[in-house]
Amino acid sequence: MSIYEMIRDHMDKSVPFATVTGVELVEVSPERGVARLKKRPEVENHIQTLHAGAMFTLGEAASGAALGGVLGDQLMAARPVAADASIKYLKTGKTDLTATAVANSDAEAIRKQLEDVGKVVFDIKVAITDAEDVTVAEMVVNWHVKKTG
């Protein structure tokens, strides 16, 4: 099992709120994080589309997966905190959704700064798409990461 598969499995089980909403981490890699959310009554709003809060949770989970991929084996000695997040809802979510997240900076540069300085701040951009691959929301999560060890 690769470090990225271990990170995905650990994250998939260790974030209770994402688990309650049904968010599933699909991919953790140095290039991106991917998460999915199935459309079902428990995560719908009053017009039977995906609730904005569920979409936000999906995007934040994907950004956390991308962060795990960027940090790789440094993640266990780091304390990441989502310091700020913004989301723009472009369309209603009428189907299962997939969130794909990528860091705005090179992973190697982020890891080097964390190692050398002991902290790093960077954004992760997220695109949330529906079953037809139409972007329904765009999100940016600003992560602050400090070394713990």
Say what the pLDDT of residue 11 is: 78
On whether the CB atoms of residues 140 and 85 are closer than 8 A, the answer is yes
pLDDT in tens, 29-88: 988 999 999 999 999 999 999 999 999 999 999 999 999 999 998 998 999 999 999 999
- Do β-strands 97-103 and 119-129 pair in parallel, antiparallel, or remain unpaired? antiparallel
Say what the pLDDT of residue 3 is: 81
How large is the average pLDDT for residues 121-135? 98
Say what the pLDDT of residue 19 is: 78
Entry pTM: 0.93
Q: Which CATH architecture has domain 3-147?
A: Roll (3.10)
> Percent of the chain at pLDDT above 70?
100
> Percent of the chain at pLDDT above 90?
81
Say what the pLDDT of residue 101 is: 98
- Write down the domain spans for the chain: 3-147
Concatenate the DSSP letters of all residues of 48-107 into one string.
SSB-HHHHHHHHHHHHHHHHHHHHGGGGGGEEEEEEEEEEEE-S---S-EEEEEEESS-H
Q: Compute the mean pLDDT over every residue in the chain, rounded to the nearest whole number.
A: 93
